[in-house]
Each structure stands twice: as structure tokens, then as C-alpha cells.
Amino acid sequence: MGKNKAVCSVSGCAEPLYLGGLCEEHHLESVKTREKRETAINTLETATIDGRMPDNNALRDELLKTRKWWFRACDSMRNNIQDKVLLDEAKYAFEWCVAIAQIIIDEELLFRQEQPSNKMFHERKRVFWERFENLEAGLMSNGVARTK
């Protein structure tokens, strides 16, 4: 009777383990995802991308707008108090800000390389901005009225 070889924990992957329960390819993807997230958080904290503010004025403005939400979400979570607009959705707002920052970083890096922006960037961010707009309107982030 043969021994079962340990394989990657990603569904459908039969590659041998490399590190942390993942094959080498999925481990490297995981590291890349974590680094991208850390870069986005650093950008939210410092308002800089690779040490400087965005060169694209629209992206700079959007980053500053995102940072306002970021600090509200962080303050709410850090102090365990409900923000008057975010209410019970601060932890989600935190993640939306990270996602927006990741897209802004990608856009800015293309801008600095004088490459055309990906049209999907705007659409991906629009979903998150709609959530914030819903909260500002007194709704839940998904647009449903809050029950009193």
C-alpha cells in the first residue's frame, strides 16, 4: 500500500507541498497578494506610492478621499466605537479602502510609465464608491434601507 503524498491545499491542485500547505506556485501567489495588500495599506497611511504622492492629479484626489474613509474605519475599529456613517460596516469599509488603494496604485504606476489606464479600473472602484455613497445616504452599503 503506497503512502499518500501531501499536496497543495488549494482546491483542484495536486502539486506537492512547498511551504505553508501550498505548492510553490500558490505560495508565491499568496506572497504576492500579501505584499500588494501591505503596499496598499502603506499607501493609505502615507498618501504615497513608491515614496511620492501620485503624479496623476485625479488619482491623488481620489487617494486623499479614500484616506478620509480609511481613517474613519480605522478609528472606529481601533477605538471600538461606531462611526456615525459607517455604523456596523467599519471593518468592511477598511477592506474597501484597501481595494481602492490597490487599484489607485496600479493606475498610478501605469500613468508614471505613460501607459494607458485599464478601463476596468474605474468600474472596479465604482462598486466600492457606491457602497460609501449608500452609507452616506443612511442606507446599508448594499443600498438597502436600514431597519430602525
**Grid cell 500588494 in the structure block, residue:** 36
Residue 14 shares a structural domain with residue 52: no
Beta strands in 9-137 (DSSP E): none
Q: Is residue 145 one of the residues assigned to a domain?
A: no
Residue 57 shares a structural domain with residue 27: no
Q: What was the pLDDT predicted at 16? A: 87
Residue 76 shares a structural domain with residue 107: yes
Handedness of CA 87, 90, 91, 96 (dihedral sign): positive
Q: Is residue 147 one of the residues assigned to a domain?
A: no
Domain residue limits at 3: 1-33
pLDDT tens across 28-40, in order?
998 899 999 999 9
Residue 77 shares a structural domain with residue 12: no
pTM for this prediction: 0.87
Total domains, the chain: 2
Residue 84 shares a structural domain with residue 60: yes
